[in-house]
């Protein structure tokens, strides 16, 4: 999988006033990594499921200041229900997105 393409798809979605929904577990994993980085949270530890990571991230980010792009990304993530467990490839994508997100762009 080309990780940069998945992350770019999220970057493009955030340019829309009403961004298109996330429609794949890969985009969900990338969004979790991006939001963790944007909130200055540590890299999320691997869990059994992305749903667990979504819940954990939402709890950690609750009450923290967010930009408009971060809020859009949160809404996209909250509206998506992961379909499979978090495998190694998706976790590597999450890490890639975390490591390659620049806060100044959002």
SS3 67: coil
Q: What is the pLDDT of residue 5?
A: 95
pLDDT on residue 22: 94
The first and second tokens of residue 104, run together, are 């100044």
Flag whether pLDDT at 7 surpasses 90: yes
pLDDT at 10 over 80: yes
Please provide the DSSP assignment of 6-38 as one string: HHHHHHHHTTSSSPPPP-SHHHHHHHHHHHHHH
Q: Given pLDDT bands bounded at 50, 70 and 90, which one contains residue 103?
A: confident
- Tell me the per-residue pLDDT of 50-82, one tens digit each, with 9 for 90 and over: 999 999 999 999 999 999 999 999 999 999 999
**Look-up: residue for tokens 């978090």?**
86
Read off the tokens for 54: 């979504």
Instruction: Look at residue 79 in the predicted model and tell me its pLDDT.
Output: 94
> pTM to 2 decimals?
0.94
């Amino acid at each position: 999988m080309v990780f940069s393409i998945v992350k770019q798809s999220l970057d493009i979605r955030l340019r829309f006033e009403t961004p298109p929904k996330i429609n794949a577990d890969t985009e969900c994993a990338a969004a979790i990594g991006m939001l963790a980085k944007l909130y200055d949270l540590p890299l999320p530890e691997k869990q059994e499921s992305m749903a667990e990571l979504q819940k954990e991230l939402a709890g950690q980010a609750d009450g923290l200041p967010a930009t408009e792009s971060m809020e859009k990304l949160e809404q996209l993530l909250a509206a998506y229900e992961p379909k499979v467990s978090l495998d190694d490839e998706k976790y590597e994508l999450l890490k890639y997105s975390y490591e390659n997100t620049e806060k100044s762009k959002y």
